[in-house]
Structure 1
């Protein structure tokens, strides 16, 4: 068996057992340098890609207004350097391997900037599952890549995961956590108490804080609980998340826990299917990244 085959097998086994996986160094320095340059220029609100028409108002940012530490959605649709990073073949190939998918599209991309300080907006990200935000997605095989643009330590508020939480039993309490939209929460202690209470059952609560060197990437399963602490360093912590969807994924009607219709951010922006439902294969907003386009068709 070739070395690459051994590494692939080990990665897949680890991901299936733990619900996350951290790569070695897979991103080249020049790609990361270009992405960092984009981040430094965000306050100027200049873009070098033509934003899809439906997203223009959603992504509008008043000129001259400073951007706080915030979630910048659809970042790859606005800047060529970020688009090149999020479609980088080594990332897409790993996502395809971990999800067992022969074809992948991007579902969304986002930049989260954590400026130093425990009182900043998004200083802490609450424990949550990505699946809670994907109720209208038919596929259970989506995955998220988390790409830091610098060496990222615990003190900077690196990504933390609940090891093997994707495999927790589907009890009422676990299901409540998995469906809660707690990326932003006003009571982190209460959320932790709910998680910690599961220890009395058959659940092992094991927090892993994933420190990554620049060029490394972590992936996590849609049912893996994850979050992050405050950035207590003296520099900004910049990271890009890439949500990948397999070719089979499509829109399905769903309801939230309160009974209201579920909706993803871009349901009103993507193209429509013949039946009028959102098209999650819209090539403008959800481009295919695996397999990579051949030079002749690119």
Structure 2
């Protein structure tokens, strides 16, 4: 199966969708991945958790079967290093084409991926919340917020199983003082945020069918609540950047592991094998 192959132009956003993204900082695609494709993806996600690395290369910080606290959120960085099926999700051409349209740019590259698994809580007390955050808070090794995240739903998602929630227009507020992916008290975070005058913190649940993909700007505030269902919420966050994204050394320590491969090349564009191209307008000529 080749999920990354041809660009599906029927899935690309219309001009009104691009305008919506520009105004609100997020957008939800039609279904991109079929049921058969999703079944294979989920099977390979489970293989990764068993420590079966198809390429022989381990991802970053992978959760493995038998580890403590199986009820916690699982976050595996760079699963595309380890498994070719998961790599096909991370470098999907249609996802790249949508990201290019929304960011109004010619080229989209992969920055990194995060394979995510939010266990079903059932009667337990664990929440596996994701705290309010802006992705760019962790990516200041990039010279500007020229990045976008594509969040691929492997299962249906709604409020009952901890879907993402977006804060519309927050990508226009700049980088705020409260960013903590692992914070469990979302209400406390919200109260501590210093949002711009005349703006409002309001949330929109991103309700999706399996196979849909949501897109959000690197400055859009987002988070998610508990999975109170009996089934795991499965997904992949595909973090993407425009072709003009440049490396910047960050003295505060936000030097992402992928940025370390730049070897201190201040001001240079991220390009090369470590950051594959998903889409370029040149290929459409």
1:205 aligns to 2:206 (yes or no): no
Cα deviation, residue 88, structure 1: 1.8
Residue among 212, 217, 241 paired with 2:237: 241
1:37 aligns to 2:27 (yes or no): no
Cα deviation, residue 250, structure 1: 1.9
Residue correspondence of structure 1 range 11-30 to structure 2 within 5 A: 11-30=17-36
Where do 5+ consecutive residues of structure 1 fail to align? none
Q: TM-score, normalised by structure 2?
A: 0.84
SS of the residue aligned with 1:176? coil
Q: TM-score, normalised by structure 1?
A: 0.81
Larger Rg computed on CA atoms: 1
1:286 aligns to 2:275 (yes or no): yes
After superposition, the C-alpha distances for 1:62-89 in whole angstroms (9 at most, x for unaligned) are 7864783311110122111111122222
After superposition, the C-alpha distances for 1:13-40 in whole angstroms (9 at most, x for unaligned) are 1100110000111223332221111123
Query: Closer, same or farther in 2 for the Cα pair 1:241/1:249, shift >3 Å?
Result: same
Q: Separation in 2 of the partners of 1:291 and 1:234?
A: 41
Q: Separation in 2 of the partners of 1:138 and 1:232?
A: 39
- Kindly indicate whether the alpha-carbon contact (under 8 Å) linking 1:31 and 1:85 is maintained by their aligned counterparts in 2: no
Cα deviation, residue 163, structure 1: 1.1
- Kindly indicate whether the alpha-carbon contact (under 8 Å) linking 1:157 and 1:229 is maintained by their aligned counterparts in 2: yes
Residue correspondence of structure 1 range 94-113 to structure 2 within 5 A: 94-113=98-117
Q: Separation in 1 of the partners of 2:31 and 2:184?
A: 35
Residue correspondence of structure 1 range 12-91 to structure 2 within 5 A: 12-51=18-57, 56=58, 58-59=60-61, 65=67, 68=70, 69-91=73-95
After superposition, the C-alpha distances for 1:182-226 in whole angstroms (9 at most, x for unaligned) are 00125433212124x749x31112200111001111000111100
- Count of residue pairs brought into register by the alignment: 271
